[in-house]
Amino acid sequence: MGRLSGHKVHYVDADILVIGGGFGGCGAVYESRYWGRDMKIVLVEKANIERSGAVAHGLSAINCYIGLRTNENSPEDFVRYARGDLMGLVREDLVFDIARHVDATVHKFEEWGLPIMKDEQTGRYLREGRWQIMIHGESYKPIIAEVARKSASLVYNRVMVTHLLMDKRRPDRVAGAVGFSVRDGAFYVFRAKAVIVGAGGASHIYRPRSAGEGMGRTWYAPWSSASAYGLLIPTGAKMIQMENKIVLARFKDGYGPVGAWFLLLKCYATNALGEKYEARRFAEIKALVGRYADLKPMPTCLRNHAMLEEMKAGHGPIYMHTEAVLDTPEKEKIGWEDFLDMTIGQAVVWAAQNIDPRERPSELITSEPYVMGSHATCSGAWASGPEDCAPADYRWGYNRMTTVSGLFGAGDTIGGSAHKFSSGSFTEGRLAGKSAVQYVQDLKEDLPEIDESEVQGLAAKVFRPLDTYRVGRNEIVAGTVAPTYISPLQGLLRLEKLMDEYVGGYTSYYVTNEHLLNRAVELLALLREDLESIGAEDLHQLQRAWELHHRVLTAEAVTRHTLFRQETRWPGYYYRADHPRLNDSAWHVFTASEYNARTGDWHMSKLPVHHIIS
Ligand code: SFD
Ligand code: AMP
């Protein structure tokens, strides 16, 4: 063990390096071990896989389960559903690939100890809705993590990956990654033949509704820090649909999800006047988006749109009528457990505000936007598709490999494939793991090599915020405002404010335009300049600093894509006021970007949307 930039350094060799031990990452480790019996499979995680990622606190439903063995649905049906919900634009090959494999994953989860609710009459899994099943999921993450722990050769917890490393001889091939231990400050250099990124999506890119003392409260986990994108973008990997950020209808203040209420408990929402506004606004929505309004269920963004129009018309608050459906102790139990398993804060809101859901309706509201690839949204990397069903131009190599050779992804990392949720993300990890093993086997003697001088430069860069703080803090005697550095929190608040005000956050009712977006590009450039002078007082703040770097780069991608797509494709997620209509003749396409880290240029393009399922 040597030292770099004054810090201990550990070199770790792996056949396959998995970054992020969430649902995608755990699936990747599990499947890599199955196909790569003798391979060295290393998992690196910034927290502790036992309770890391979006599912840290548990979930109350598995939102992607087809029901193949009970003939409930077909994979083709699922593709039609995901395509409709995304207003026509998904990678049908990727969605199909998940749909045909996801049930096997869920059966494994049950075998590993996850309690899945059963329908007493049919003996089948209890359906929440057509695609969702109910679970007792408080311990969902520890159950999945145990499998990854047993499959991996080594698990490094508390090591945050900051950068990917490229091959010394081939700049379009990955060779590993670097990061640091949040516990002892050691520098880690991972040398790998293939890398699978499962580092999750992003909260806190936009100003959350919960500000001040409630700031940590968001729907997607506050620790989802955009690393899935922040790691990939500097490598030049092609990204798609980064403008497709998601806004969610949620119980107000606690961000409680609505699926179990709408679908299982058959609850309904009204405006303050008691009117069912979605039905009333149908003609108006149809005039706005045409045939997409007829889809069943109505696409998620359009349901948001109806709610937003009501609020703008002064008909708020919007109410979820829990009191109309909680008429048995069983239903009441499901209602409380839904939150206690998944969003405990919402149950706390009920308790703290004396709301008995059997007696009073609860307010609903739309959240701030999040950047993800696994919910009713599909931002992420452009990936090669499965060999048996991907159209020729969707396939250039191994399944789920990005445009960088040897660099794979799963879950929020991979774009174009919406409605994966927890089960689909794990499944995608499995698919990526299987093909990464194949990639490594095919490499034979042609192995990637890291560039030592690059590693040295990165070591200095990664720890620089500690030095910046150590020196800069001498210029102040009290408080947090310093002339020569900004703190990670100051940088985060600045990012959230500018994204909110210029790139369609909640304070502008999600509206933006070309002028606002161009100004956002300028302000983001200034913020990036100031990030060179970020100061970190300890290792925790150093992690916040690098999370912020990942968030800012992701925010820039969101802004560039939003600028590029000159239409309003998903009313209810965001609006281009200067292009207020959906325009299928020009924009029935994916938007793509490639970032050049050397010049700072973004290359934007359109990619075709092929419909392979009728
Ligand atoms: O209803 C680094 N999700 C739901 N999925 C369901 O199936 N059912 C539900 O009921 C769901 N609901 C829900 C959901 C999420 C949340 C927060 C709530 C409610 C409140 C969505 C799923 O959770 C989501 O789709 C998957 O978890 C996505 O998987 P993945 O693998 O893409 O992300 P992850 O699980 O967050 O894991 C990321 C991991 O990476 C680590 N990490 N490690 C090292 N270095 C770095 N730089 C890193 N950056 C990140 C993270 O710590 C983490 O372990 S409902 O509301 O929709
Ligand atoms: P949520 O709890 O809002 O994250 O939603 C969980 C699942 O239910 C997701 O698959 C949603 O797309 C779906 N869902 C939520 N509300 C509705 C609704 N009103 N109609 C149809 N599907 C819904």
Q: How confident is the model at residue 532 (pLDDT cuts 50, 70, 90)?
A: very high
Distance (angstroms) between ligand 2 centre and the Cα of 566 equals 28
pLDDT in tens, 416-437: 999 999 999 999 999 999 999 9
Cβ of 295 less than 6 Å from ligand 2: no
Type of residue numbered 217: R
pLDDT in tens, 64-100: 999 999 999 999 999 999 999 999 999 999 999 999 9
What is the model's pLDDT at position 213?
A: 78
Cβ of 219 less than 6 Å from ligand 2: no
**Arithmetic mean of pLDDT, 190-215:** 95
Which residue shows structure tokens 């924009």?
Answer: 587
Which residue shows structure tokens 């910034």?
Answer: 46
* CA atoms in the 13 A half-sphere facing the CB of 316: 14
The conformation of residue 225, written as its DSSP 8-state character, comes to B
Residues taking part in catalysis: 63, 128, 219, 250, 338, 375, 422
Contact 172, 91 (CB under 8 A): no
120/129 Cα distance (integer angstroms): 16
**Arithmetic mean of pLDDT, 559-579:** 98
β-bridge partners, 594: 603
Distance (angstroms) between ligand 2 centre and the Cα of 289 equals 20
Q: How confident is the model at residue 478 (pLDDT cuts 50, 70, 90)?
A: confident
Retrieve residue 543's tokens: 């992690």
Q: Compute φ and ψ for 65, nearest 5 degrees.
A: -150, 125
Q: Atom of ligand 1 at shortest distance to CA of 49?
A: 54
What is the model's pLDDT at position 396?
A: 97
Distance (angstroms) between ligand 2 centre and the Cα of 338 equals 13
| Helix, strand, coil percent values for the chain (each to nearest 5) | 40, 20, 40
Cβ of 376 less than 6 Å from ligand 2: yes
Cβ of 47 less than 6 Å from ligand 1: yes
Retrieve residue 544's tokens: 């916040």
Retrieve residue 283's tokens: 């003609």
**Arithmetic mean of pLDDT, 216-239:** 97
Which residue shows structure tokens 């936009």?
Answer: 206
Distance (angstroms) between ligand 2 centre and the Cα of 30 equals 29
Spatial strand order of the sheet with 249-251 comes to 249-251, 362-366, 318-320, 269-270
pLDDT in tens, 319-339: 999 999 999 999 999 999 999
Distance (angstroms) between ligand 2 centre and the Cα of 258 equals 6
Q: Atom of ligand 2 at shortest distance to CA of 421?
A: 10
Cβ of 45 less than 6 Å from ligand 1: yes
Cβ of 86 less than 6 Å from ligand 2: no
pLDDT in tens, 347-372: 999 999 999 999 999 999 999 999 99
- Most informative mutation of 261, 263, 264, 265 for ligand 2 (most atoms within 8 A of CB): 263
The answer, yes or no, to whether residue 271 has pLDDT greater than 70, is: yes
Q: How far is CA 34 from the centre of its chain?
A: 26
275/277 Cα distance (integer angstroms): 6
At 443 the three-state DSSP class reads: helix
What is the model's pLDDT at position 215?
A: 83
The model carries a pTM of 0.98
Contact 417, 428 (CB under 8 A): yes
The answer, yes or no, to whether residue 273 has pLDDT greater than 70, is: yes
At 598 the three-state DSSP class reads: coil
Mean pLDDT rounded to a whole number for the chain: 97
Distance (angstroms) between ligand 2 centre and the Cα of 389 equals 28
Query: Could you give the domains of the chain?
Result: 249-366 (3.90.700.10), 453-583 (1.20.58.100)
Cβ of 26 less than 6 Å from ligand 1: no
Its sign, for the CA torsion 250, 256, 259, 263, is negative
**Arithmetic mean of pLDDT, 249-258:** 96
Q: Closest-lying ligand to the alpha carbon of 298?
A: 2
Q: Atom of ligand 1 at shortest distance to CA of 342?
A: 20
pLDDT in tens, 544-567: 999 999 999 999 999 999 999 999
The conformation of residue 214, written as its DSSP 8-state character, comes to G
What is the model's pLDDT at position 479?
A: 86
Cβ of 246 less than 6 Å from ligand 1: no
Contact 435, 390 (CB under 8 A): no
The conformation of residue 537, written as its DSSP 8-state character, comes to S
- DSSP sequence for 7-52: EEEEEEEEEEEEE--SHHHHHHHHHHHHH-TTS-EEEE-SS-GGG-
What is the model's pLDDT at position 1?
A: 66
Q: Closest-lying ligand to the alpha carbon of 346?
A: 1
Distance (angstroms) between ligand 2 centre and the Cα of 347 equals 19
Q: How far is CA 111 from the centre of its chain?
A: 27
pLDDT in tens, 22-35: 999 999 999 999 99
Retrieve residue 530's tokens: 């100031």
Cβ of 258 less than 6 Å from ligand 2: yes
Among the listed residues 526, 534, 520, the one whose alpha carbon sits nearest the alpha carbon of residue 464? 534
Q: Atom of ligand 2 at shortest distance to CA of 64?
A: 10
Type of residue numbered 479: G
Q: Closest-lying ligand to the alpha carbon of 550?
A: 1
What is the model's pLDDT at position 513?
A: 98
